[in-house]
Amino acid sequence: MAKNEHSWNRRNFLMRTGGASAGLIFGMAIPFARNMPASFVPIALAQDASNIPGKVGLTELNDRPLNAETPAHLLDDTITPTNRHFIRNNGNPPEDVDLNSWRLTIDGLVENILSLSIDDLKNQFDVVSYDLLVECGGNGRAFFDPPARGNQWTYGAVACSNWTGVRLSDVLKAAGVKPEAIYTAHESADTHLSGNPDLQPLSRGLPIDKAMDPYNLIAFEQNGEALHPMNGAPLRLVVPGWPGSCSQKWLNRIFLRDQVHDGAKMTGTSYRVPSYKVSPGEKVATEDFQIIEAMPVKSLITHPETMKSVSESMLEVRGHAWAGDTSIKSVDVSHDFGATWQKAELTSPNNAHAWQRWSAQINLPEKGYYEIWAKATDTNGISQPFAIDWNPKGYLNNSLHRIAVKRV
């Protein structure tokens, strides 16, 4: 089972202390302690954030390759600012990028091989802008027990910026997709960490049907400006609704194939989950893994910041919700450890594949420690769980989001 919010350091917290004694840690009572599930771990544990040049307030997970997430409260904007967009690298980003000489090749199973400059893209195809959500498939990996290998993302490997570019489908149509093509394959200019030029850090692809989604972009701008180097400058794919690894950065080639692409991190267990439920820690044969496609329903609390102290009884809570290839039907919030829930106000997305903003006014009846929980439900009626089943690579953790609030 996936763990919830920093519980990996405080296993069986309440079993050791009891609900009432737990309040001593926070210097106040926990009004709804009786509703806490057995072996529950409060959210009120340390969170560290550090700055990275060119970004604001991101938490660095590792520096080779550079990966950094955004604390939830810094994702409150409807449109994520570029300087708060998370960073997910697999190799060494290219250096000394020349926009004038950059080319994108479209080849493989096409009628017409294309070699396009960025100006060619702007001049030969419709340029469009959409608010599109990108989320790493491993977002939430830190909360699995036993731990899953990989970057220990908590909640911040997600963002919804405004992207400008041309539709991937328009470019593929211009190249002429041959009938036998079933999958795209993507390549980029980053290099393998080993320095071996024969190895690629990442080369993923899409089924042709998904590639033709009109909201997939070959993007050259983010929030009205040139792409940030760590977010794929000068050219990248943006494939919303599916794992962020599909949104190849530093894009320089797309080729079409008559088989499922077998590039770097497309095979084995990369971006794959078992095709059946497994027990925590169970070993799974490689052939029993299936490729992740649409991401699950999810929500994020962006206000207030966790561990906020408030003096008033009424508290505004807000955030975002999203759901892979579909949209959100409702968001519910709880302040009493899930004993009761209230509906949040929910806005429509700015366009398909953008996250949806929600807000609620919550009454904190007395002084003490509270947790605010958010639970989204998509238009198919699927809701976020309290915790998800364990998987070996720690993917697709859409457990409901929890923050701590102290009324003083």
In a domain, 352, yes or no: yes
Enumerate residues 6+ apart whose C-beta is below 8 A from 194.
none
Q: Compute the average pLDDT of residues 42-68.
A: 73
For residue 213 the two structure tokens come to 């989604």
Name residue 165's amino acid: G
SS3 15: helix
Q: Compute the average pLDDT of residues 102-116.
A: 98
**Rounded-to-integer distance, Cα 329 and Cα 380, Å:** 8
Regarding whether 210 and 310 lie in a shared domain, the answer is: no
Residues of 117-136 as b/e, b for ≥16 C-beta within 10 angstroms?
A: bbeebbeebeebebbbbbbb
Regarding whether 361 and 223 lie in a shared domain, the answer is: no
- Chain segment 212-240, per-residue pLDDT in tens: 999 999 999 999 999 999 999 999 999 99
Tell me: pLDDT of 348 over 50.
Answer: yes
User: Which pLDDT does position 50 carry in this prediction?
Assistant: 52
Give the model's confidence band at 367: pLDDT under 50 very low, under 70 low, under 90 confident, else very high: very high
Regarding whether 244 and 193 lie in a shared domain, the answer is: yes
Percent of the chain residues topping a pLDDT of 90: 85
Residue with tokens 């950094």: 68
Mean pLDDT over each residue of the chain, to the nearest integer: 91
User: Which pLDDT does position 43 carry in this prediction?
Assistant: 55
Contact 391, 148 (CB under 8 A): yes
Q: Which of 214, 247, 267 is where one domain is finished?
A: 267
If one counts the domains in the chain, the total is 2
Lowest mean pLDDT among 21-30, 171-180, 246-255, 384-393: 21-30
Give the model's confidence band at 42: pLDDT under 50 very low, under 70 low, under 90 confident, else very high: low
For residue 226 the two structure tokens come to 């040139």
Tell me: pLDDT of 8 over 60.
Answer: no
Regarding whether 256 and 169 lie in a shared domain, the answer is: yes
Helices (H), 65-167: 118-124
In a domain, 47, yes or no: no
Tell me: pLDDT of 246 over 50.
Answer: yes
Enumerate residues 6+ apart whose C-beta is below 8 A from 321.
297, 298, 299, 300, 328, 331, 346, 355, 356, 358, 374, 376
Domain that holds residue 111: 92-146+159-267
| Cα dist from 2 to 78, 242, 375, 390, whole Å | 28, 21, 16, 5
Regarding whether 240 and 305 lie in a shared domain, the answer is: no
- Chain segment 145-199, per-residue pLDDT in tens: 999 999 999 999 999 999 999 999 999 999 999 999 999 999 999 999 999 999 9
Q: Compute the average pLDDT of residues 46-66.
A: 75
Lowest mean pLDDT among 3-7, 116-120, 319-323, 353-357: 3-7
For residue 114 the two structure tokens come to 């294309």
Regarding whether 170 and 223 lie in a shared domain, the answer is: yes
- Chain segment 265-297, per-residue pLDDT in tens: 999 999 999 999 999 999 999 999 999 999 999
Residue with tokens 């080729």: 255
Regarding whether 308 and 235 lie in a shared domain, the answer is: no
Tell me: pLDDT of 52 over 90.
Answer: no
Regarding whether 251 and 127 lie in a shared domain, the answer is: yes
User: Which pLDDT does position 258 carry in this prediction?
Assistant: 98
Specify the DSSP class assigned to residue 242: S
E strand intervals along 234-383 = 236-238, 251-257, 272-274, 289-291, 297-303, 308-310, 314-323, 328-334, 342-343, 345-346, 356-363, 368-378
Q: Compute the average pLDDT of residues 11-28.
A: 43
| Of residues 79 and 20, more confidently modeled | 79
**The domain that contains 167 carries what CATH number?**
3.90.420.10
Tell me: pLDDT of 133 over 60.
Answer: yes
User: Read out DSSP for 281-309?
Assistant: T----GGGEEE--SPPEEEEEEESPTTEE
